[in-house]
């Protein structure tokens, strides 16, 4: 049997399968479909024709717009029907035609989306992705499997992120860009192939980061990508100098971390 709070409002032409859990204040519009293993926390709203399926949990206050399909099976040839999950956080906006898939058994079986995110029309979150908080995915953005998107990233319309790629905190990816390699925190990437074109200074300023700190991050960026040694060696060489700057240390820790992908740079992937 379903567990449905008394204050939930379910349109008579919606389908809520037995076993679903529907929290206080939830609104489910006409022609919506809620699967038997779904949990909708308080004040979630599903507009007409939204589908939430699979073993999916939707956080409080999240709104899902028409024709979105949240919790579908992973689009992977290795998926054999295992019981994998999708978790979406609180206060997200999931616009028309968005798709989000559950995880795959070989990689822990979880796709995880954080709080206060905006997913514009027809964007896609594939299996086993990790999306942080306050992320904006513009129209038609595509995340392949196992992608990590850290907090406050903005992805421009039509951009595509290669599987297993990381995009660091508060990075900006321009529209129609191909993200084939990891993007450092606060980085700005544009083009196809995507090239690192500096720092997201506008985003840093809007986030209230002090101008003097931004200048230090710029100096560190120059030392990392214009130094005489490799990027990782350059980054290691300045660690002590910037130990008191949290923003630079986030970049250095990101570079030092293990990853399946190389790092985006101002030149990596250029032809010729």
Q: How many CA atoms lie within 13 A of 101 on its CB side?
A: 23
Known catalytic residue: 127? yes
Rounded Cα gap, residues 267 and 272, in angstroms: 11
Would you list the DSSP string of 103-167?
Answer: --GGGTSEEEE-SS-EE-TT-EE-TT-EE-SS-EE-TT-EE-TT-EE-TT-EE-TT-EE-TT-EE
Which of 37, 41, 124, 127 is the catalytic position? 127
Known catalytic residue: 168? no
Which of 89, 145, 156, 187 is the catalytic position? 145
Known catalytic residue: 103? no
Which of 35, 128, 132, 146 is the catalytic position? 128
Q: Which residues contact 18 (CB under 8 A, 6 or more apart)?
A: 1, 2, 36
Catalytic (active-site) positions: 127-128, 145
């Amino acid at each position: 049997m379903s567990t449905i709070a008394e204050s939930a409002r379910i349109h008579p032409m919606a389908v809520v399968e037995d076993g679903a859990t529907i929290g206080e204040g939830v609104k489910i519009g006409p022609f919506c479909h809620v699967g038997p293993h779904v949990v909708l926390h308080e004040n979630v709203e599903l507009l007409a024709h939204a589908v939430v399926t699979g073993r999916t949990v939707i956080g409080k206050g999240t709104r899902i717009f028409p024709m979105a399909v949240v919790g579908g099976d992973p689009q992977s040839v290795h998926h054999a029907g295992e019981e994998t999950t999708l978790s979406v956080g609180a206060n997200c906006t999931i616009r028309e035609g968005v798709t989000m898939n559950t995880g795959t058994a070989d990689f822990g079986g979880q796709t995880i989306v954080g709080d206060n995110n905006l997913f514009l029309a027809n964007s896609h979150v594939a299996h086993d992705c990790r999306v942080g908080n306050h992320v904006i995915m513009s129209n038609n953005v595509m995340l392949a499997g196992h992608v990590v998107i850290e907090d406050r990233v903005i992805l421009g319309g039509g951009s595509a992120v290669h599987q297993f790629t990381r995009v660091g905190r508060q990075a900006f990816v321009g529209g129609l860009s191909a993200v084939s390699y990891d993007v450092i925190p606060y980085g700005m990437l544009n083009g196809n192939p995507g090239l690192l074109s500096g720092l997201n200074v506008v985003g840093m300023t809007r986030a209230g980061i002090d101008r003097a700190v931004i200048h230090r991050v710029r100096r560190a960026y120059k030392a990392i990508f214009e130094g005489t040694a490799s990027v990782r060696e350059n980054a290691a060489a300045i660690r002590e100098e910037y130990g008191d700057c949290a923003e630079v240390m986030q970049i250095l820790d990101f570079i030092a971390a293990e990853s399946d992908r190389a790092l985006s740079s101002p030149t990596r992937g250029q032809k010729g």
